[in-house]
Structure 1
Amino acid sequence: MCMLLEYCVQTLEDDFTARCASSSLSHSIAKATLSCDRQFSRVRDVIKWLFCVIIKTTENEDSKEGIQKKDNQIRIVSIFQRMLSLALEADRSPALNSAKLSQELFHMVLSHMPLRAHR
């Protein structure tokens, strides 16, 4: 799963970089799939997945297998963070989108993160 997510994010980032260079950002894959203006429900899904992985990361035991799972889950958290970063940059107003995204993140932390370790 981690490799698939890495491939997807790398494809999104490569397309985004190419579209930025050619000034056709409005036709990028990131804009079509992770736009805070047009596809915020998908951005919310990424946030939910991010928090689910964070909860799993804090629940692993300290055995060798548990540490490997934890490392893999931390990589997945990083991938979801990269997706959210792309969601901000995909639109023309990253400042407005960052406020929208931070409000959603804050709401999720307050409503779904009961333990300090999760927050």
Structure 2
Amino acid sequence: MNLPNLNEDGKPSTNIPLPNSISILSNSELIDLINLQRDNLANYVTQFNLQSDYKDSIEKLLEELHTLEIKFNELESKKNDTYENLESCQILESQYVKEWQDLNRHIEMNYSSAAIKKI
């Protein structure tokens, strides 16, 4: 039975002797290896999960969204034009009411029974 190497405090030693023929990788080499394996794993997974169907549907949805944006902008422009037309109609209506009142007052002053009796 192998007992752990103990240091002077009686705790297990963290220094473990390595064989002479071992080569340890540096941190950058380990990171490169991990990235390579991650990319390989991603490629392997995408073989089973084909994304072309999703890409096609996403592209169609993006086209529909773009079309809807264009229609919305056109509708917004038409709405603004309609508000401007409504405002000009309201101005025209107020001018009509004023002219009607002026004409009615003129007729009342010149052609009413009291005005005719004065003549």
TM-score (norm 1): 0.25
Higher helix content, 1 or 2: 1
- Which structure has more relative contact order (CA 8 Å, sep 6+)? It is 1
Structure 1 or 2, whichever has the larger Rg, is: 2
